[in-house]
Structure 1
Amino acid sequence: MKYDNETGLTASARRAHRWPQPSAGRSGRIWYGGDYNPDQWPEEVWDEDVALMAKVGVNVVSLAIFSWSKLEPREGVYDFGWLDRVVGKLGRAGISVLMATATASPPMWLTQAHPEVLWRDERGDVVWPGARQHWRATSPVYRDYALKLCRAIAEHYKGNPVIVGWHVGNEYGCHNRFDYSDDAMRAFQVWCHRRYGTIEAVNEAWGTAFWAQNLDDFSQILPPRYIGEGNFINPGKLLDFKRFSSDALKDFYQAERDVLHEVAPKLPATTNFMVSAAGSTLDYDDWGAEVDFVSNDHYFTPGEAHFDELAYSASLVDGIARKDPWWLMEHSTGAVNWRPINYRKEPGQLVRDSLAHLAFGADAICYFQWRQSRSGAEKFHTAMVPHAGADSQIFRDVCELGDDLRLLSDHGLAGSRLAKSQMAVVFDYESEWASEYTATPSQEVRHWTEPLDWFRALADQGLTADVVPVRGPWDSYEAAVLPAVYLLDEANTRRVHSYVSGGGKLFVTYYTGLADESDRIWLGGYPGSIGDVVGVRAEEFAPMGADEGALDHVNLTNGAVAHGMADLITSVVPGVTVLASYHADKRTGLDGAPAITVNPFGQGRAAYVGCKLGREGLGKSLPALLRAVGLEVQAQGEDPGALLRVERVSPDGSKRFDFLFNRVDHKVRFQADGEPLLASLARVGADGRASIDPNGVLVLER
């Protein structure tokens, strides 16, 4: 389980949810806006900005995110005049502000006077100023300067009715996740002492008997610095360093937050996470307990997975928020600037993408950024006002979205919650970190891909699953998937036993339950800690790859094909039903071995999928799997996966909003069940027959 950085005890308490409230006299609505950087522009542009914001329907902006050098041009000398003028203009237009702490990047005078605040890479090289986030989280010098700035901003703006919340820092760890400096070394030693108590416990957890790595004192603990090409860091130590790095940044955030709340306790505070299917920079579920409301930055994945990855990620944010409303702090109106090829969005996707985040529980839709920059590293990153200006399709789409959000607010969508699904798909940040290790059965197998494959394959069956963090309430669902959840400690092992024996329907895959929280392998065969629940025992892995002459795939008797990884299951307990076996060359030793099984355990059933099937293979396997565990899916139409259906429900259950998204590349027709409320690239006839074009969405009210 997760340990608190200060006490070393299991952390479970979460801060009470507090949502930014509109200024007095204004009704609660869906928040709409984005990052606003007026300090990039001459002051005469500000009035045009505010007028255009009013036209769009913007009601909130984040201010001063990267403005430290302008707010404190010299040490101890503050200049709030320019920011006061901006806040005044916005307030008079009815636009609220999330005020940032501006600590994401220090000014040059600070790093010039104190180069010791700069973080170091694993070789000990200094990361110099020139971009952003070139500070180390464990630097007492940097913390002192940052907290003085936080206090100055809070004192200056406390009581200002335009300010509705704090935007603390920005994308913590995006560039300074790992620091290998002496400050970090000392902090890591303290962290290990708090977590383990004794050096003997550290040795036991890390297995330091291997390669003569035994430690005699906490002072001998080093960060996982450079050890030479082709060598291997101790996996337990590396996993703990990733935990420590997340906690060190979290501790810095908490220090900023606490200063703000000391001065202005009524204003809620948040910071923008970077949750995506592949994003595991920090343990965002752990961080979710420390913000007053969860916020996220999400940028679309180009290509055919665009919409599904977005929906999956938004569902995971909802899981981190425990179904409280959350804030989409950043996404893009079109192309970003940081990929090798920066693809534009197709017509309809600007509106569709925003409404998808909204469907999965967001009550705020914001962009990076309001006006596209003329210069700097992000000048080709699209914005609400692009280089082409207001006479552009992007700006017209932004206006259309503003109208849509006003309509949905008028009908009471704000404050409703994402309805609970039948099934939870579990994601675990620490299992992803462990699966990243460089000495594993296959470097081609990672935890994060499997939950996404299951989410997509279930959607193809007409079931929109909830994505739930491993420490979240996945065991309260009718059915749950543990997809390549590599780490299972004793507490989660007990949860698995209790869940299935109590009647739960559990789907477990290869690479699940292999190790405990210290990355020590559970003995006795795979999946070690829950082998009795799933009723199978595997003795070896059969990795697959593209090397000449190597096994590159294996067929299953149900028509599915496995790639990447397969378990060699050598025995099953009495009562196990084998749904599919391997059909392979005799020389592989896999032919005839069980591949997919179902085991009755207590009052429930546990299915085991012992290989990496991907979305397509899961699609061939899921109908039989769902029947075998007794899960009924209420799929509709000839192609139940053509539409993704998402439902939001008001707290008292009196209002239901159905969001229907086209997932395919052709028009989808169906019978609408509810009152049409909003349509983008969609239409509903008088007889209730509806159609949605590609990239389209229809919202119904019931």
Structure 2
Amino acid sequence: MLKANHLHFGGDYNPEQWPKEVWAEDIRLMQKAGVNLVSLGIFSWANIERSEGQYDFSWLDEIIEMLHEGGISIDMATATASPPAWLTKKYPEVLPVNFDGVTLVHGGRQAYCAASEVYRTKAAALVEKIAERYAKHPAVVMWHVNNEYGCHAPYCYCDQSKKSFQDWLKKRYASIEDLNSSWGTDFWSQRYYSFDEVPVPSRTPDGTHPNPGQQIDFKRFSSDVTLELFKMERDIIKRYDKVNPVTTNFMSMKFTYAMDYFEWAKEVDFVSTDHYLAQHDPHNYIDLAQQADLTRGFAKGKQWLLMEHSSSAVNWQPRNYAKTPGQEKRNSMSFVARGSQGAMYFQWRQSQAGSERFHSALVPHAGEDTRVYREVSELGALLKAHPDISQYETDRAEIAMVYDYEQFWALMQANMPTEDLSYPETVATWYRSLWESGLRVDFVHPDATAVELSQYKLVLMPMVHMLSDKQEAEFSNYAKQGGNLVVGYFSNISDRTLRVKLGGYGGQLVKELIGVYVEEFYPLRPDQTLKLTNGLEAKLWSELSRLNGAELVASFSGSDVDGSVAIAKRNLGSSTAWYQGTELTLESQKKFFSGIAAELGIKSEGSDHAEVVHRGPYRFEIDHKANTVSITKH
């Protein structure tokens, strides 16, 4: 695992972008700023293997020795994130093919198909050389496999991918008839008689879309086949280094969805992630907190590492606003409060050329005499002053929220009751309403058992569209055994194959446990809002429903379904279960959750602009309005 009694500080270092006379200056500035770790070699394949089988490690050897002599540890990368031009020229079949059948060319990054045997063979050979050479070097303290898997070309629709997808389906389904039944292929004459008839779900005739079960299985396959790449590289490294941990950087960001990080987290030695703010959002610190809490959920509450974030502006948003004075410290310490073992960045020195030349860095274009360098140096000193923070886990919250990448995949599909449905936006609204009410939350996967859920006073289920019978039973048992539950609209509509559960929407969880019978969906018009009978305000969604044993909290009014259930609850003896059959506005969601929290005696700390987080004996108070950070130890 990660080094004990130590907080990491540094970032991606790309010395190959600079003449050697800059390297000594880099080491000096790193020491001055308090940098103790750099990620090295992430995009260096073309500089290491200059032609097929011809390796040059001389420059890498030199900079590793310089870093080691300077007291700076190395997160050693495998350099496989971007294949070199010689590889894609000689083996063009490694290039990915997009949804419309267009081959994506060399010149960006991640220009490879995850199913490509050629890519795997060449990547494995490179990793073997790097691991063999540097596994025992004292400067290497961890391993960084590839980079941001699935960020740019997560889905490939080439013939190699089709064959790999068919093989994946053979393992998933007992027979082709099992697949037909799960996907409902008798609709539109989609029935298959052998697995080799199954295509990848790419472009279909206008106005039609691929089978929903096929679509979500392809996303599962894409995450799995990419995870195989990570495991391949990890296993090579571990043949040479059985001591230092191996990771790859996830992307815990609001609209990043291609890889199932709950599954990936099972395969890394420790969870690491990248996060970049939407700087145009004045409440972006809440999204930061949400994604940090979600990352801790991947790690099952254990410490993790922020592998990348920005010192100031990024270069890929429509308008790349710079961070304001003091914001960087607030951002970084919010990550640390929530379990990160430090703060790492992209990148050390701002590039002079290339696509990311206007992406910020610890050393900007203007150099050392800058606010950015001074502020990150202050942060380095702050982290160095509190190394024992790393010994403690962030305190468990009293509220858990269910999160699942497969829900994301399911609700991205076309032909839904309304195009206004957004899984990430609903989750974000629920989270923000808690954050601004001073209520902390942990994230859990829907595979959590009733015993695991019992650690929490309250479990929230925002738009958990798919549940297996087992998952549904675990949430029901949690509520029956004393746990309090809030189920959001459009939840438990389907099983995990996207086949709709019949006999009243919401299945047994909504119809029997809570006691609401939902007949039909009535999406609201754009910009339409409704005042519910208890004074709360709703938008986006209503439904035709009636009580089936529950107690009415609020009904719809001024709608097409007046009198139908908007919010209901049921007393289960030692606990309560609520059903929220609509999307509440932010202020109404805050009132709803604050009322429940007060009823359950859940502790609230902070305000709508200040967060309070406890990590062992440490209390972090970060005020985003006053622009202050306070760390106290009791």
Question: TM-score, normalised to structure 1's length?
Answer: 0.88
| Counterpart for residue 333 of structure 1 | 311
| Counterpart for residue 545 of structure 2 | 569
Asked if 1:607 is matched to 2:585, the reply is no
| Counterpart for residue 623 of structure 2 | 662
Asked if 1:184 is matched to 2:161, the reply is yes
Q: What are structure 1's unaligned runs of at least 5 residues?
A: 1-17, 22-26, 650-655, 666-692
Deviation string for 1:599-633 (max 9, x for gaps)?
12364211111100132220232344345xx4113
* One-letter code aligned to 1:30: L
Asked if 1:389 is matched to 2:367, the reply is yes
| Counterpart for residue 413 of structure 2 | 437
Asked if 1:647 is matched to 2:614, the reply is yes
- Check conservation: 1:111, 1:129, Cα contact below 8 A: yes
| Counterpart for residue 33 of structure 1 | 10
Aligned counterpart in structure 1 of residue 558 of structure 2, from 559, 567, 584: 584
Q: Post-superposition shift, 1:511?
A: 1.2
Structure 1: distance between partners of 2:321 and 2:515 = 47
- Check conservation: 1:607, 1:625, Cα contact below 8 A: no
Structure 1: distance between partners of 2:542 and 2:572 = 24
| Counterpart for residue 278 of structure 1 | 255
| Counterpart for residue 475 of structure 2 | 496
Deviation string for 1:196-245 (max 9, x for gaps)?
12101100110101111011001011111211332111001000000000
Structure 2: distance between partners of 1:351 and 1:640 = 19
| Counterpart for residue 631 of structure 2 | 699
| Counterpart for residue 559 of structure 1 | 535
- Check conservation: 1:481, 1:507, Cα contact below 8 A: yes
- Check conservation: 1:73, 1:79, Cα contact below 8 A: yes
Q: Aligned to 2:76, what secondary structure does the other structure show?
A: strand
| Counterpart for residue 75 of structure 2 | 98
- Check conservation: 1:363, 1:415, Cα contact below 8 A: no
Structure 1: distance between partners of 2:142 and 2:602 = 42
Q: Aligned to 2:485, what secondary structure does the other structure show?
A: strand
Asked if 1:457 is matched to 2:433, the reply is yes
Q: Aligned to 1:170, what secondary structure does the other structure show?
A: coil
CA distance change for structure 1 residues 391 and 288 in 2, over 3 Å: closer, same or farther?
same
Aligned pairs for 1:307-386 within 5 A: 307-386=285-364
- Could you tell which deviates more after superposition, 157-166 or 564-573? 564-573
Q: Identity across aligned pairs (percent)?
A: 39
Structure 2: distance between partners of 1:184 and 1:231 = 22
Q: Post-superposition shift, 1:508?
A: 0.8
- Check conservation: 1:488, 1:529, Cα contact below 8 A: no
Structure 1: distance between partners of 2:453 and 2:278 = 27
| Counterpart for residue 635 of structure 1 | 604
| Counterpart for residue 104 of structure 2 | 127
CA distance change for structure 1 residues 631 and 278 in 2, over 3 Å: closer, same or farther?
farther
- Check conservation: 2:5, 2:389, Cα contact below 8 A: no
Q: Aligned to 1:265, what secondary structure does the other structure show?
A: coil
Structure 1: distance between partners of 2:596 and 2:179 = 42
- Check conservation: 1:327, 1:362, Cα contact below 8 A: yes
CA distance change for structure 1 residues 174 and 640 in 2, over 3 Å: closer, same or farther?
closer
Count of residues paired in the alignment: 629
- Check conservation: 1:215, 1:221, Cα contact below 8 A: yes
| Counterpart for residue 63 of structure 2 | 86
- Check conservation: 2:289, 2:334, Cα contact below 8 A: yes
Structure 2: distance between partners of 1:61 and 1:28 = 18
Q: Post-superposition shift, 1:642?
A: 4.0
Q: What are structure 2's unaligned runs of at least 5 residues?
A: none
Structure 1: distance between partners of 2:618 and 2:447 = 28
Q: Post-superposition shift, 1:474?
A: 4.0
Q: Aligned to 1:566, what secondary structure does the other structure show?
A: strand
Deviation string for 1:640-662 (max 9, x for gaps)?
4442111111xxxxxx1111122
- Check conservation: 1:278, 1:449, Cα contact below 8 A: no
| Counterpart for residue 9 of structure 1 | none
Structure 1: distance between partners of 2:233 and 2:355 = 27
* Poorly superposed stretches of 4+, deviation over 6 Å: none
- Check conservation: 2:542, 2:556, Cα contact below 8 A: no
Structure 2: distance between partners of 1:142 and 1:360 = 37
Q: Aligned to 1:647, what secondary structure does the other structure show?
A: strand
Q: Post-superposition shift, 1:442?
A: 1.1
Aligned pairs for 1:500-511 within 5 A: 500-511=479-490
Q: Post-superposition shift, 1:594?
A: 2.0
Aligned counterpart in structure 2 of residue 523 of structure 1, from 502, 509, 512: 502
How large is the Cα RMSD of the aligned pairs? 1.4
CA distance change for structure 1 residues 497 and 439 in 2, over 3 Å: closer, same or farther?
same
- Could you tell which deviates more after superposition, 116-125 or 207-216? 116-125
Structure 2: distance between partners of 1:132 and 1:341 = 22
| Counterpart for residue 46 of structure 1 | 23
Structure 1: distance between partners of 2:305 and 2:506 = 38
- Check conservation: 1:512, 1:527, Cα contact below 8 A: yes
CA distance change for structure 1 residues 369 and 521 in 2, over 3 Å: closer, same or farther?
same
Structure 2: distance between partners of 1:182 and 1:429 = 26
Q: Aligned to 1:542, what secondary structure does the other structure show?
A: strand
- Check conservation: 1:460, 1:640, Cα contact below 8 A: yes
Structure 1: distance between partners of 2:534 and 2:610 = 26
- Could you tell which deviates more after superposition, 99-108 or 296-305? 296-305
Structure 2: distance between partners of 1:626 and 1:358 = 26
Question: TM-score, normalised to structure 2's length?
Answer: 0.97
Structure 2: distance between partners of 1:336 and 1:75 = 34
Deviation string for 1:46-105 (max 9, x for gaps)?
000000000011000000000001001111111111001110010011100011010001
| Counterpart for residue 653 of structure 1 | none
Structure 2: distance between partners of 1:615 and 1:697 = 26
Structure 2: distance between partners of 1:510 and 1:333 = 39
Structure 1: distance between partners of 2:167 and 2:446 = 27
| Counterpart for residue 160 of structure 1 | 137
Structure 2: distance between partners of 1:269 and 1:203 = 40
| Counterpart for residue 483 of structure 1 | 462
